[in-house]
């Protein structure tokens, strides 16, 4: 039985009460909060005149991220997309190569693949994690690929598969250990798109430190923000040095000479953004605790509506619950809820359009059966998830 509009009105009313919203007050989907040392550190940065890609806040942010995530190395970048681009380049992804990823993700995942001149292979998601399905991945590789001299080749096209990019969706982690085991058997590098999962742990380890690389975003809508920014995580010292070199225009260090030994990229995080990030990192445990409180409130609310599923972290995970999500019975019901919520100034949104439906990729990708992604995308709604509202 589908939930009726009266029940939708009740749900939206309860969401607004959780967020202590006044009449006609707009509730954003996810907004940043600056209540710590942000202004202090920004003033320090401005006073120092070191506001670009060199400065003490960049070094501090990288060290803080190493400490928090448990990664051996961290390279601060201008955004999460640039971080992912460099990670793929260091996996030797080149023109006409193939990269496996999931169809349910933000556009940045496939944009970074395209920047390398490669094309995506879309493999379905798992209904529990909303991320790349290990079972579907293994089935695809067994049925449609083969190995030649320790290189994985897509049999039909003859193209090389160089990398696999699972994305940890909304802070839920992919079953990354299984994915890595499968990819290792086919000599495929794994780059974790952990843009949304700072503060999410899988089997006791932080997301983004399982694969050859992990990348995180600090965009304005993430759990913490540096305005724009990202980071590359890796456990390999040589790869870390190469990543830092590439993101710094491939400039050979020297006190005054400008010698660049290869094509490089202006992808380093500016010191002024890092100042903001350092202040936000100090508050990360508090933000995560507030998000967990919000999740508990949502769990209680949706327990009274049997036709709506509030998505909870899978077993062996501790999610940051970056964006809370619900599943409705049908696309029609989803669209009805979205209309009512947004009309009431309670911002809700559907999941991203499936990537293989976009004009850039519909004829430029390898498709597999993505029935789970199609079903989930048609019924999913992200609901307001800003932690500080629910205090």
Residue for token pair 């998601």 = 125
3-state class (DSSP) for residue 112: helix
* Residue 17 phi, psi (nearest 5): -70, -40
Query: Alpha-carbon distance 72 to 128, whole Å?
Result: 30
Contacts of 34 (CB under 8 A, 6+ apart): 279, 280
CB 78 within 8 A of CB 235: no
Say what the pLDDT of residue 189 is: 98
Q: Which of 177, 176, 173, 98 has its CA nearest to residue 140?
A: 98
Q: What value, to the nearest 5°, has the Cα angle with vertex 31 and ends 25 and 32?
A: 135
Say what the pLDDT of residue 389 is: 62
Query: Alpha-carbon distance 38 to 64, whole Å?
Result: 16
Q: What is the CA radius of gyration of the chain?
A: 21
Q: Is 47 left (phi over 0), alpha (psi -120 to 50) or beta?
A: alpha
Query: Alpha-carbon distance 22 to 53, whole Å?
Result: 42
Q: Is 187 left (phi over 0), alpha (psi -120 to 50) or beta?
A: left
Q: What does pTM read for this prediction? A: 0.96
Domains of the chain: 5-33+283-353+380-390 (3.90.1150), 38-281 (3.40.640.10)
Judging by DSSP bridges, how do beta strands 161-165 and 151-154 pair with one another?
Answer: unpaired
Say what the pLDDT of residue 2 is: 52
3-state class (DSSP) for residue 240: helix
CB 355 within 8 A of CB 296: no
Q: Which of 346, 281, 338, 308 has its CA nearest to residue 30?
A: 346
Q: Which residues of the chain have pLDDT under 70?
A: 1-3, 388-391
* Residue 122 phi, psi (nearest 5): -95, 115
Say what the pLDDT of residue 387 is: 82
Query: Alpha-carbon distance 214 to 168, whole Å?
Result: 11
Say what the pLDDT of residue 1 is: 42
């Amino acid at each position: 039985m589908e939930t009726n509009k009266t029940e939708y009105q009740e749900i939206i009313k309860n969401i607004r009460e959780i967020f202590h919203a006044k009449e006609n007050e707009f509730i954003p989907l996810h907004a940043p909060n600056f209540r710590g040392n942000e202004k202090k550190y920004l003033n320090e940065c401005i006073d120092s005149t070191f506001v670009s890609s060199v400065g003490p806040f960049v070094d501090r942010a990288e060290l803080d991220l190493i400490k928090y995530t448990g990664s051996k190395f961290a390279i601060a970048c201008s955004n999460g997309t640039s971080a992912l681009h460099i990670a793929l380049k260091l996996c030797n992804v080149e023109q006409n190569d193939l990269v496996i990823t999931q169809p349910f993700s933000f556009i940045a995942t496939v944009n970074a693949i395209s920047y390398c001149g490669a094309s995506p292979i879309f493999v379905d998601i798992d209904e529990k994690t909303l991320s790349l399905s290990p079972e579907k991945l293994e089935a695809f590789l067994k049925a449609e690929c083969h190995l030649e001299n320790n290189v994985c080749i897509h049999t039909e096209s003859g193209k090389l598969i160089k990398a696999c990019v699972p994305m940890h969706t909304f802070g839920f982690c992919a079953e990354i250990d299984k994915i890595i085991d499968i990819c290792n058997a086919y000599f495929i590098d794994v780059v974790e798109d952990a843009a949304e999962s700072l503060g999410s742990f899988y089997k006791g380890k932080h997301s983004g430190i399982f694969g050859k690389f992990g990348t995180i975003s600090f965009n304005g809508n993430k759990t913490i923000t540096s305005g724009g920014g990202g980071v590359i995580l890796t456990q390999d010292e040589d790869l870390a040095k190469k990543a830092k070199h590439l993101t710094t225009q491939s400039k050979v260090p020297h006190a005054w000479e400008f010698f660049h030994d290869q094509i490089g990229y202006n992808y380093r995080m500016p010191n002024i953004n890092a100042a903001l990030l350092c202040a936000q990192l100090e508050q990360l445990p508090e933000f995560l605790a507030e998000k967990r409180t919000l999740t508990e409130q949502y769990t209680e609310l949706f327990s009274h509506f049997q036709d709506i599923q509030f998505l909870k972290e899978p077993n062996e995970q501790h999610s940051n619950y970056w964006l809370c999500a619900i599943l409705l019975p049908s696309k029609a019901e989803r669209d009805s809820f979205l209309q009512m919520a947004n009309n009431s100034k309670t911002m809700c949104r559907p999941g991203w359009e499936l990537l293989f439906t976009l004009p850039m990729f519909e004829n430029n990708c390898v498709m597999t059966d993505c029935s789970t992604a199609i079903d989930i995308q048609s019924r999913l709604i992200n609901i307001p998830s800003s932690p500080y509202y629910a205090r």
